[in-house]
Amino acid sequence: MDPAAKLTPGENLLICGVRAWAAARCAGEQPHRAVSDALSRRTNPQVAALFLAWIQAVEATTLRPIKAECACCGGAAPDVQRLVVACGVAPVAFELGEKLLAPLVRDPQPVMMLARSLNAALAQAGWPLPARLGAPSEPGAAGRTLH
């Protein structure tokens, strides 16, 4: 089974948004308009605006460049997984989200506050994110990258 099939549409949407943002930055382009337009078409302008605020907060406080794709297989890199899971847990486990983001950003609190708002807007637009709080369900899956 394709591991991406285990992700919700909302998680896939966030991954695509982060990847599009990173790809534009790597190409030396401004990602704001293209990412905003794409998200507005799929969801609504509120989700697009909150995504831009969230990813810009990540970018403004990043400790190092965010890796968007796994170099080995092209799947979602651990950095992107941390961002998506932190956004998913934002309404129910804010502190856990901060811990997930600590290796990526200097100050996770503002990123998590925006993540909570983005999470709510996604849910309202019909793109809910799961709060993945449990341990991996497969034996030996701990520490493995979900691709």
* Count of Cβ atoms closer than 10 Å to residue 14 Cβ: 29
Reduced to 3 states (helix: H, G, I; strand: E, B; else coil), residue 105 is: strand
> What are the helix and strand counts (H, E) for the chain?
6, 0
Residues 16-58: tens digit of each pLDDT: 999 999 989 989 999 999 999 999 999 999 999 999 999 999 9
Residues 53-77: tens digit of each pLDDT: 999 999 999 999 887 765 555 567 7
Please tell me the pTM assigned to this model: 0.84
Q: Report phi then psi at 105, rounded to 5.
A: -130, 155
List, in sequence order, every residue forming a beta bridge with 69; answer none if it has no partner: 76
User: Quick check: 2 pLDDT over 70?
Assistant: no
